[in-house]
Amino acid sequence: MRQIIFLLLSLIIISCDSNKSVDYSKLDKFPELDEKVLVDFYENVLDSLIGENYLKSKPFFKTDLIDKSFGLPLLSNADQDFFILQTEKFKEFRWKDYLVKEKLFTQAEMDSTFKNGAYDGWKVFREKYSDDCICTMSLPLFSRDFKKVYIDFGTQCGATWGWGQIYVFEFKNGKWTKLYKFETWIS
């Protein structure tokens, strides 16, 4: 009897494992798109986006990714409409302290560092972080079939030194791989 109870408890604990990766091949409905899916996606792609000498801000919600992505290859009108649904669903979404293995540059630190403007702010930043840069990224926007994800990604390394891209990842053979990178701005 004890062995049966132990076995049942073990199965319950295993089934409740929150670290279990999302099975994207089974995602096909909008309600299944939730916070766990967003966090799991970032945990799977961050290393391919952020270098060793980069700090990152938490992913931001406000983005003009929908406007920037208009007319991109592989993006249908249905996908564009699905982007709008996602932004509506996550309008109140707030990132918690996820992705703690990455060097995080908080909004409070950003405000404090750059309170006297970009040029003075980068001097303060360099004193503390040497040659590091700051990366920002939008919430991922999934295609209607959940097989592609679009991210608005920016890198700032100085007051007049930065660039932005849209990255497109594709879910293939059980993992996310970078499919395209489109340049959106440079300074």
Strand locations in 10-91 (E): 54-56
State how many domains the chain has: 1
Structural domain boundaries, residue 58: 22-186
Sign of CA dihedral 40, 42, 44, 47: negative
> What is the torsion angle, in degrees rounded to the nearest 10, for the CA atoms of residue 65, residue 67, residue 69 and residue 71?
180
H/E segment holding residue 164: strand 161-172
Q: How confident is the model at residue 95 (pLDDT cuts 50, 70, 90)?
A: low
Is 3 domain-assigned? no
Is 5 domain-assigned? no
Is 67 domain-assigned? yes
Look-up of token digits 């996602």: 86
Distance (Å, whole) CA 139 – CA 39: 10
At 104 the pLDDT is 67
Q: pTM of the predicted model, to two decimals?
A: 0.73
Give tens-digit pLDDT for 149-181: 888 888 888 999 999 888 899 998 888 999 988
Q: Mean pLDDT over all residues of the chain?
A: 75
At 117 the pLDDT is 92
* Per-residue pLDDT at 12 exceeds 60: no
| % of the chain at pLDDT higher than 90 | 11
Is 154 domain-assigned? yes
Is 173 domain-assigned? yes
At 59 the pLDDT is 52
